[in-house]
Amino acid sequence: MSNYPSDLTDLQWQAVRGCIPPSRPVGVARQVSLRAVVNAVRYRRRSGCAWRLLPHDFPHWRTVYGYDRQWQTDGTWGRIEQRLRELRVQLPAHGIVADEASGLVPFLSDAGVPSSESAA
C-alpha cells in the first residue's frame, strides 16, 4: 500500500483503533485492514474524489463505503475525530506538533534530538 498525506501515522492509529467497534460475533471474520479503511475514507474526504475513484491500493470502494456509512450512523467517526483532536492537543506538551497534512512531526533540536521547544 502506498503512503498518502492523509494516512494515519502509527501514533494516530494506536490512538484511534480502540474507537472502532469489534467485529460481529457471527458471520465471516473481517478480512480487511481497518487501518486501510480509515486511511481510504480520510483520503476521500481530503481529496473529494468519487467513491469509485479511490486508488486501487485501498480496499475496494464498496467495502470502504460500507464501513464509512456504518461508522457515520453509529458514531464511530465522531469518536475517531474526537480522539485525533485530543491527540493534537496533547502532543505539543511532548514536543510534537501536527503538520498541515494532519501528520505528526517532532520538533528537533540542533542536535537532532526531539525537543519540547521549537528553534526560533
- 63-103 pLDDT, tens digit each: 999 999 999 999 999 999 999 998 887 766 555 555 544 44
- Residue 17 inside a domain? The answer is yes
Compute CA distances 7 → 3, 17, 75, whole Å: 7, 14, 21
Domain that holds residue 30: 10-93
Could you report the per-residue pLDDT of 86-97, keeping only the tens digit for each?
A: 888 776 655 555
Which grid coordinates are listed for 48? Answer: 473529494
- Residue 117 inside a domain? The answer is no
- Residue 120 inside a domain? The answer is no
- Residue 68 inside a domain? The answer is yes
Q: At what angle do helices 34-47 and 61-74 cross, to 10 degrees?
A: 90
- Residue 98 inside a domain? The answer is no
Q: Residues with Cβ < 8 Å from 91, sequence gap 6 or more?
A: 97, 98, 104
Q: How many domains does the chain have?
A: 1
- Residue 115 inside a domain? The answer is no
Look at the pTM and tell me if it is higher than 0.85. no
Residues found in the chain: 120
Report the pLDDT value the prediction gives residue 104, as an integer from 0 to 100.
46
- Residue 111 inside a domain? The answer is no
- Residue 71 inside a domain? The answer is yes
